[in-house]
Amino acid sequence: MNWGRWIIVSFVLFALFIGSLVVVCVRQDSPLVSKQYYQEELDYQNQIERIENANALTESPEIAVVNDSLKVTYVRFSEMEKGKVKLFRPSDPRLDRQYDLLHSAQKSQAFSIGDLQKGLYKASLRWEQDGKEFYLEKTIVL
């Protein structure tokens, strides 16, 4: 074989490699953090205000993993109008969980997380109290 054929063969092999690389990349699933990602991005100024409200609290909620449960401790649960705790896994949105916080006189609430896979999760706490909205987020590892 002469040089001309080798050059043509190498260009064809390179084109096949690039084509297969494009096919593999297109088939990859790249989930967003949330299904309403773009809407949440538009509402981000409201989110900033929620975070600032939570930072201004003198007694902030605590999120911790205790044995096989997620424990939320907050001394002002009795003043809370409504709230939610979301656990979301950035690598797999199928493992996301959501729990409702209850208006209660108790200072802590626990939610069972024994069925979740081990790994990194982001726990977000969003609640309303005294006509204001609050948001707190913490990274946890199970």
Q: Tokens 């706490």 label which residue?
A: 125
pTM of the model: 0.69
pLDDT at 9: 92
Q: Is the dihedral of CA 111, 93, 54, 126 positive or negative?
A: negative
Q: What are phi and psi of 74, to 5 degrees?
A: -155, 125
pLDDT at 129: 86
Domain ranges of the chain: 1-29, 37-141
- List, in order, residues 6 or more apart from 116 with CB less than 8 Å away: 87, 95, 97, 142
CB 131 within 8 A of CB 67: no
CATH of the domain spanning 37-141? 2.60.40.10
Instruction: Tell me the pLDDT tens digit for each residue of 85-126.
Output: 998 888 888 888 899 888 777 888 888 888 888 888 999 999
Distance CA 42, CA 45 (A): 8
Q: Judging by DSSP bridges, how do beta strands 69-73 and 108-112 pair with one another?
A: antiparallel
pLDDT at 31: 66
pLDDT in tens, the chain (142 residues): 688 888 999 999 999 999 999 999 888 876 666 667 777 777 888 888 999 988 888 888 888 888 888 888 888 777 888 889 998 888 888 888 899 888 777 888 888 888 888 888 999 999 898 888 999 999 888 8
∠ CA(96), CA(46), CA(91), 5° rounding? Answer: 25
